[in-house]
Amino acid sequence: MNIFGIVVDPMVVAAILSLAGGGVVSVITQLLKNLLKLEGVAAVILTGAIGVACVAAYFLIIAPPFVFLNFAIYAVVVFGEATGWYHFLGPSE
């Protein structure tokens, strides 16, 4: 891709946007949980809904074509990261 005479690799742009998007998802989730004073199951459901919506936006807008298997795997990873559930699978200290 050539932007204003500068060659830009679309994969690098997608990687940068996905990293920035992860931070944005976390910030939005925490703001809404604090604003709505959610805890427990309600907070997990909100986190899942925001995570799935952001993953869908990523795959539909930033990284087409949409492949359901990729979407499902990425959604599970984002949900696990956002809720901290991935810690259950890792070594505990």
pLDDT tens digits, 6-46: 777 777 766 666 666 666 777 888 888 889 998 888 888 88
- Calculate mean pLDDT across residues 50-55: 83
CA distance 52 to 71: 9
CA distance 71 to 67: 6
- Calculate mean pLDDT across residues 37-56: 85
Domain boundaries, position 24: 2-88
More confident residue, 39 or 60: 39
Give the count of domains, the chain: 1
Residue 72 is classified by DSSP as: H
Q: What is the pTM of this model?
A: 0.63
Helix, strand or coil for residue 2? Answer: strand
More confident residue, 1 or 45: 45
Q: Is 93 a residue whose pLDDT tops 60?
A: no
Alpha helices in the chain (DSSP H): 10-36, 41-57, 68-83
Q: Beta strand 6-7 with 2-3: parallel, antiparallel or unpaired?
A: antiparallel
Identify whether 32 is part of a domain: yes
Identify whether 93 is part of a domain: no
Identify whether 76 is part of a domain: yes
